[in-house]
Amino acid sequence: MLFAMMFAFWRFLEIITLIPTMGMLAYFVDGYVKANQLTPTYILILFIVSVLALAWCIATLFSYHRSTTNAQFVSFVDLAFVGAFIAAVFYLRWIGNVNCTSVDRGNPYFLDLGAVGSANFNTFRININKTCAMLKACFAFGIMNCIFFFITSLLAWIHGGHTARGERVYTRKTTTHHHHHHGGHGRRSHSGSHSRSRRSRSHSRSYV
């Protein structure tokens, strides 16, 4: 039960971060397709990885009972996604050093205070580069999913190890019980044959 809660929690975090990542990258891919241009590698790789990872997360979350029986396979796939996200983040690493916001001085503002006097204020305007901000958000979500998928991979591996040990213990107990059951029958049949042989000998002696 504890494993189920922890696994579902981290899966939800992965889905929550993958949905906006896929949406923003789909926006870029659609723009390049409409402009009849090739999508850059740093966008395309992270987009493909995000789509596949989102489909995998949804499949393993809604078919949880099937996933628990293949916990080690789930762990392997999650670890593969860790490597895929590391590669995607590596291609997009240049966005980490880019400043997406700039502050400009706007028009001065004059305020008449009547008999007291007047005052001049300088206004400032914050400019945010939409494209840069979206790519930086995708970069951050990619790093977060590297960590999230490593955690779910570790959880699935631990759960798979416990399941395998439980199956071995159950098999060993079943085999031992089966062996003792047949051994008891053998001893009873052996003792029965000895008693029958003793009775036959006693009857033969009585008739001599």
**Residue 79 structure tokens:** 């670890």
Q: Has residue 176 been placed in a domain?
A: no
Which residues have a Cβ under 8 Å from the Cβ of 32 and sit 6 or more positions away?
38, 39, 40, 43
pLDDT at 122 over 80: no
Q: Give the pLDDT of residue 81.
A: 97
Q: Has residue 46 been placed in a domain?
A: yes
Q: How many domains does the chain have?
A: 1
Q: Has residue 39 been placed in a domain?
A: yes
7 band by pLDDT with thresholds 50, 70 and 90 = confident
pLDDT at 149 over 60: yes
Q: Has residue 44 been placed in a domain?
A: yes
- Contacts by 144-149 with C-beta closer than 8 Å and gap 24+? 144/17, 145/14, 145/17, 145/18, 145/21, 145/53, 145/81, 145/85, 146/82, 146/85, 146/86, 146/89, 148/10, 148/13, 148/14, 148/17, 149/14, 149/53, 149/78, 149/79, 149/81, 149/82, 149/85
- Residue 52 lies in domain: 2-96+131-168
Which residues have a Cβ under 8 Å from the Cβ of 67 and sit 6 or more positions away?
60, 74, 156
Q: What is the pLDDT of residues 57-112, one digit of tens each?
A: 999 888 766 656 688 899 999 999 999 999 999 999 999 888 888 777 766 665 65
- The pTM for the full model equals 0.70
Q: What is the pLDDT of residues 154-198, one digit of tens each?
A: 998 887 654 444 444 434 444 444 444 445 544 444 445 444 444
Cβ-contact 60, 75 below 8 angstroms: no
Q: Has residue 120 been placed in a domain?
A: no
Residue 58 has, within 13 A of its CA and on its CB side, a CA count of: 9
Q: Has residue 124 been placed in a domain?
A: no
